Amino acid sequence: MCKTNGGYSRKEVVRCEDRCAVDRYGVPLDKIDPPVVIYGNGLVLDYGNRVSVSKRGMAGHGLEAIIKRREMLIVALRVAREKFGEPVRFCGSEDFEYEIIDAAIHCGIQLEPISERGLIMYDDMLSMVV
């Protein structure tokens, strides 16, 4: 689930559902514990039924942090697309949603925002692409 106790979980979620997640062929996916590290020192994790980006991975300012964050998000999106197919569902903070949408448009990956805010943001950003 994306939300816990009225707020988002500690990690920004690239793929989440209220029911059991399935892979791109419809096969149910079980949760993996401990998760598999996909990128960095736990910045992107594969839990089996979702791919998560840590808040630590979204932190930082400056050009170097922006470049690393973009690379991390592209890795997470590609893993989620390969595992779950398109569109990739996502939820998270406003900043996370903006950056994941921007990275997905750059890579040509279709998204399915879970939040209304994300849906509006996604539609607005797609309309700017020529």
Bond prior to 87 in cis (omega within 30° of 0)? yes
The mean per-residue pLDDT over the stretch 11-38 comes to 61
Query: What global pTM score does this model have?
Result: 0.76
Task: Name the residue among 13, 3, 47, 4 with its Cα closest to residue 29.
Answer: 47
pLDDT digits (tens, 9 = 90+) for 32-84: 778 888 888 889 998 888 899 988 888 888 999 999 999 999 999 999 999 88
CA-to-CA separations, 85 to 6, 33, 80, 90, 120, in angstroms, rounded: 28, 22, 7, 13, 22
Average pLDDT, the chain: 80
Amino acid at 42: G
Q: Write down the residue that tokens 């930082």 correspond to.
A: 60
Rounded CA gap, 120 and 116, in Å?
6
Question: What are the pLDDT digits (tens) for 38-52?
Answer: 888 889 998 888 899
In single-letter form, the type of residue at position 33 comes to D
- Report the C-alpha dihedral over residues 3, 4, 10, 12, rounded to 10 degrees: -10
Cβ atoms of residues 45 and 11 within 8 Å: yes
Domain with 14, as residue range(s), is: 3-128
Query: What whole-number percentage of the chain has pLDDT above 90?
Result: 46
Amino acid present at 120? I
Number of domains in the chain: 1
